[in-house]
Structure 1
Amino acid sequence: MKTVKFKNKNWEVAAILQFPENFDENQKYPAIVCAHPINSCKEQTAGNVYGKALADAGFITLAFDASHQGESDGEPRFLEDPATRVEDFRCAVDYLTTLAFIDKNKIGVLGVCGGGGYAANAAMTERRFKAVVTVVGANYGRLMREGDLSADTAIKTLETIADQRTAEANGAEPLITVYVAPNEEARVQAGLNDIDIVEAVDYYTTPRGQHPNSPNKLLFSGLAPAVAFDAFHLADHLLTQPLHIVIGDKVGTFGSYRDGFELFNKAASKDKSIQIVSGASHYDLYDIPEYTSQALDKIIPFFKKHLA
C-alpha cells in the first residue's frame, strides 16, 4: 500500500494505491478506481474492504478522498459537489495513466453507496473506464430531492439553502451540518428508526467504521447543485460499458435497492447484471464479511473477465 496524491484543477486529491502480492513494477497490471460513499473516506469500505480484496485478486486499486473532504485539498471544506466528485474520477484515471505499471486499456471503476452513483455517472463520459461496478449504489440527487417524501421538499430545501447563502455572503459563519446523528443516543431521541439510519450511525460513529477522515460534517450552503443532480441521467444513451450492480434485499430509506434496479433497467450496457445479496442491508455490504464476500465472489470474476 502506498499513499499518493493527484491533481484536480489546482488542488491535490489524497489517495491510497494498493498492490497485488508479489507486485513487479516491470509488469503491466489492470487497475480499478474505488470510490467511497457519501460521508466516508478512502480508509473505509471503498479502500479497506473492496480496494484491498481487489488488490489481493491481482488488480492495482486506487481509493481516493473526494475533493474538499478527508485528506484531499479543496476549499471550502466539507463540500459535497457532484460535478467536482465526478471530475475526481477523471483525474484519478489521468493519474493512473502516468504509472508505467498500469495497463492504460484495462481500467475499471467501483463505487459504494453515493460513490456508486458517482461512478456510474462518471463512466458515461469517462471512456477510459472499461468496466463498472456499483455496490449499494445510490443516486445522491434523488436522496436530496426526496427528504421527508413531501411533494415540495426540494423547493423548501433550495429556499433554505438560498437564505443561508445570503446570510454567509453578509458575514454569517458557514453552516456545517451532519450527515447522520452524531451518536446512538441522539438517533434514538430523534426517533430515527429506519434500518439504514440505524446502521449508518453504528457504522460512522462507533469503532466499527469510525475514522478521523470521515468527520460527519457537511457544508449546507453548498448543497444546491446536489438537489438538481441525477446520477443516472443519460445512462440509457451513454452508459455502455459492462456493468455489475450489487444490492441487498433488506431495504431501507436510502433507496439503494430501487436505485440498483433503476440503473440496471436504464443502462445501455449490453453486458449488465444485478446481484441481490440475500439477507443483506445497505451497510452490511460495507464491511460485514458474510455479505461482502458474496459480493466479491461476483465482482472479482466480473473485473477479471472485462479487464483481463
Structure 2
Amino acid sequence: MAVSTIDVTTVALPGLAWDIAADIYFPADFDASKTYPVIVSAHPTGSCRAQTSGNVYGKALAEAGFVAVAFDASFQGDSGGEPRFTEDPGFRVSDFSYVIDYLVTQPYVDADRIGVLAICGGAGYAVAATMIDRRIKALTTVAGSNVGRLMREGFSNYDPMAMLEAVAAQRTAEARGAAGMVNDLLPPSVEFAKENGLTDIDVLEATEYYKTERGAAQNGRTSFFFTRQAPLALWDAYDRVETFLTQPLLVVIGDKPGAFASNRLGMELYGRAASKDKQLVVVEGASHYDLYDQSEPTAKALEAAVPFFRTHLAA
C-alpha cells in the first residue's frame, strides 16, 4: 500500500544477544511492492537516534526518496546491553552489520544499494564498519571524529597511560564492591563551563546542544562508564583505511576547528582513504555542532550527501 507522507516505524532488531532499537523512515509514496536504496544513519558518541541521526538526517534522507534507518548503539538509547553507558568500539562497529542483517531480510530493501551516513564519533565507527562489511556501498561522514584518537588526546588529558592505570584501579575497586563510576563528558551547563575557564567552541556548543532543549534526549546522555572506556585507548577508527576503505566516500566538515577535531580528522580521512571516488566538502562558517541541527549547515551537508548517494546507490 502506498503512502503519501513520510512514515516512521520503530523496530527492535536482533543484535548479538539483545535487541537494537531503530527507527525506519519511509519516503513519501513508499510502495512495499518495490525495492529501495537504504541508508543507515548512525548517531554521535554517547548519544541516541533522537539526536541528529534520525530527526535531522534520517528524516531528510527519506524526504529525498531513500529508506533511512537510524539506530541506537548497543548499551545506549533504547537498545539493549549492560552495563549502560558503554562506548565499546567492537560493539559499536558490529552494530552496523546487525542492522544490515535485518535490512537484507526486508522485501523492500535492495541489498545491493545500502549506504551509511554517520555523525561525529558514529562516523568513526562507520569508517571501521565500512571497511569490514562490504555490503556497505557508499559512506558519508558528517563532522566525523575518531573517538580512539580523542581518548588518547583530550579525553585522557593527553596521558592515556595514566587513564588506563586509573581504569585498572577502578575495576579492582568495583570488583570489591565499590559503586560504578560514570563520567559525564560535558559540563552541566554553558554557564558552568565559562565560569571554569572552558572556552573551546566544541565543548561549549556540545554542552549547549546536549544540556538544553535544543538537543537533550532522555536516553542521549553523553556519558561513559569509566571502566569500560579502556578499549578506546588502543583503538583507531582509521586503522588501515589506506588499504580497506575502498568504497565511495564523502567527508563533510565545518571550517571552524574545535577540540573534538572533526575538521582535522575529516581532512585526514579524506587524504588517507583508498577510495578512488572520494569528496571533501567544507561548509564555510560551520562548527561541529552546527552540522547537527542548524538549518543552513545541515542543508549544505545534505546538498552534497543526497546526490552522492543517488549516484552510488543507483540501480
| TM-score relative to the length of structure 1 | 0.98
Assess if the C-alpha contact under 8 Å between 1:54 and 1:300 holds in 2. yes
Residue 169 to residue 53, structure 1, CA distance change in 2 (3 Å):
same
Distance 2:218 2:155 in 1: 29
State the match for 2:284 in structure 1: 278
Residue 148 to residue 77, structure 1, CA distance change in 2 (3 Å):
closer
1:24-51, Cα deviation, whole Å (9 max, x unpaired)? 1001000000000012110110111111
State the match for 2:105 in structure 1: 98
Distance 2:274 2:142 in 1: 19
- The range that moved more, 246-255 or 174-183, is 174-183
- 1:245 partner amino acid: V
Corresponding position: 1:195 with 2:201: yes
Q: CA deviation at 1:185?
A: 3.0
Residue 148 to residue 172, structure 1, CA distance change in 2 (3 Å):
closer
- The range that moved more, 38-47 or 179-188, is 179-188
Distance 2:107 2:156 in 1: 49
Distance 1:110 1:145 in 2: 25
CA RMSD of the aligned region, Å?
1.1
Q: CA deviation at 1:150?
A: 6.3
Distance 2:183 2:258 in 1: 22
Assess if the C-alpha contact under 8 Å between 2:45 and 2:222 holds in 1. no
Q: CA deviation at 1:217?
A: 2.8
State the match for 1:262 in structure 2: 268
Q: CA deviation at 1:179?
A: 1.7
Q: 1:241 aligns with which of 234, 239, 247?
A: 247
State the match for 2:94 in structure 1: 87
Moved over 4 A (4+): 148-151
Distance 2:185 2:219 in 1: 14
Q: CA deviation at 1:9?
A: 1.1
Distance 2:284 2:191 in 1: 30
Distance 1:276 1:113 in 2: 15
State the match for 1:212 in structure 2: 218
Q: 1:292 aligns with which of 284, 287, 298?
A: 298
State the match for 1:226 in structure 2: 232
Q: 2:147 aligns with which of 136, 140, 144?
A: 140
| TM-score relative to the length of structure 2 | 0.95
Q: CA deviation at 1:149?
A: 8.2
3-state SS of the aligned residue for 1:62?
strand
Assess if the C-alpha contact under 8 Å between 1:246 and 1:277 holds in 2. yes
1:156-215, Cα deviation, whole Å (9 max, x unpaired)? 111111111111111111101102112223222332110000000000011111111112
- 1:111 partner amino acid: A
3-state SS of the aligned residue for 1:279?
coil
State the match for 1:40 in structure 2: 47
Distance 1:297 1:128 in 2: 24
Q: 1:161 aligns with which of 147, 150, 167?
A: 167
- Count of equivalent residues: 307
Q: 1:301 aligns with which of 307, 311, 315?
A: 307
